[in-house]
Amino acid sequence: MANNILLNKTATASSFVMPYAPTKIVDGAITPFNRWLCNTFPGWITIDAGAAFWVNRWVIKLMGNAGWATNYNMPAYTLQVSSDNTIWTTVDSVAGNTANTTDKTFPTISARYFRILVSSGITINTKLASLLEFEVYDAPAPNALSSLTVSNGSLTPGFNFQTVEYIVTVANTIPSITVTPTALLPTATITVDGVSVVSGKASQAIQMVPGQTRAIPIIVTANGSSKTYTVRATQEAQVQTSANLTSITLKAGKTTPLLTPGFTSAGLSYTTATTATPVVITVVKEDPAASLYVTCNSVVVPSATLDYSVAVNPGSNTVVMKITSTSGSIKNYTITITKS
């Protein structure tokens, strides 16, 4: 049987009018004198349950329960919960109320502190608001996980036991990942991708394929029911790197020597002729991150850009352009320049 965890617990409020102190709202008595009376807005009252509880139901008893007219009942209020009395989560709210009692359920959550927010007063007197009783009832721990981690990457969004869908991205150098689920209930059983896993222990290795996504189901079973979490794990595609040049152009004085044959990325050997020196060779790399090392007649040709000023001698000159991709593949493009 569920219990009212707020009965006779510590209460504080933004304001109150004596003798209608905050503690009156959790004393269990239903009389016009056993109530909290608020006179500043927005206002709030907070109850410390003394420890964290799993809860899923709240009850507000208003002045109509003490024999007063319904226009003394508060029309609007909000329930918030917290684990530390600092960060608050809104779990439910009421608007346009005329009933004597609010009795509502919400998704099971764990919290220690419980707060009612009131933004305005009662209909008959907007400067005041009264509550007779504030009750919150405990609930069985949900059939869920308390934590979920992966061996590589990080879950998006961050883990919350109520969130069942996650994504994670791993590098293309990671061949497999493991999943470590921990259940809230010690009696729960867990499977990961169809294989039984001990709560709090890493699962079997789940193989990844570059560029593809694996949907990994994590099923938690206890008390005759199951809850399924899913991690959609994507391995990054393999990076394709290139040792190709996409163009080579030459400039010698006022002339533009032509390559024979015409340039193609696959063509590695060319010839040309010139009467001027130096010859400026401009290249464009298919992979901007690739490195380029240029020599002429076995002497290194330096360059701060992709323009290489080559001093050619009369006769035949051999220019070698060695390009190395980021993955380590190498190509050597050769130009034989004849200076007459």
Residue 269 inside a domain? The answer is yes
CATH code (residue 76): 2.60.120.260
Question: 24 with 132, same domain?
Answer: yes
Residue 181 has pLDDT above 80, yes or no: yes
Residue 3 inside a domain? The answer is no
Residue 314 inside a domain? The answer is yes
- Report the alpha-carbon distance of residue 335 to residue 250 in Å, rounded: 11
**Among 91, 117, 138, residue at a domain's last position:** 138
Question: 29 with 127, same domain?
Answer: yes
4-31 confidence digits (pLDDT tens) = 999 999 999 999 999 999 999 999 999 9
Question: 267 with 325, same domain?
Answer: yes
What is the structure's pLDDT at 156? 95
Residue 242 has pLDDT above 90, yes or no: no
Q: Report yes or no: 150 and 45 within 8 Å, Cβ to Cβ.
A: no
Question: 17 with 110, same domain?
Answer: yes
CATH code (residue 318): 2.60.40
- Report the alpha-carbon distance of residue 3 to residue 139 in Å, rounded: 8
**Among 235, 267, 284, residue at a domain's last position:** 235
Question: 313 with 255, same domain?
Answer: yes
pLDDT band of residue 289 (cuts 50, 70, 90) is confident
Question: 132 with 71, same domain?
Answer: yes
Residue 240 inside a domain? The answer is no
Residue 231 has pLDDT above 90, yes or no: yes
Question: 15 with 130, same domain?
Answer: yes
Q: Report yes or no: 63 and 125 within 8 Å, Cβ to Cβ.
A: no
Tokens for 175, please give them.
């061949």
Q: How far is CA 180 from the centre of its chain?
A: 18
- Report the alpha-carbon distance of residue 42 to residue 147 in Å, rounded: 36
Residue 77 has pLDDT above 80, yes or no: yes
What is the structure's pLDDT at 239? 67
What is the structure's pLDDT at 211? 87
Residues 279-297 have a mean pLDDT of 92
Question: Residue written as tokens 């032509």?
Answer: 258
Q: How many domains does the chain have?
A: 3
Question: 267 with 224, same domain?
Answer: no
- Report the alpha-carbon distance of residue 320 to residue 300 in Å, rounded: 10
Question: 22 with 125, same domain?
Answer: yes
pLDDT band of residue 241 (cuts 50, 70, 90) is confident
What is the structure's pLDDT at 210? 86
Residue 340 has pLDDT above 70, yes or no: yes
**Among 217, 235, 253, residue at a domain's last position:** 235
Q: Report yes or no: 132 and 25 within 8 Å, Cβ to Cβ.
A: yes
| Structural domain for 330, as ranges | 245-339
What is the structure's pLDDT at 44? 95
Question: 199 with 302, same domain?
Answer: no
* Among 149, 123, 111, 131, CA closest to 24: 131
Residues 193-213 have a mean pLDDT of 94
Q: Pick the range with the lowest mean pLDDT from 202-211, 232-241, 250-259, 305-314.
A: 232-241
Average pLDDT over the chain, rounded to an integer: 92
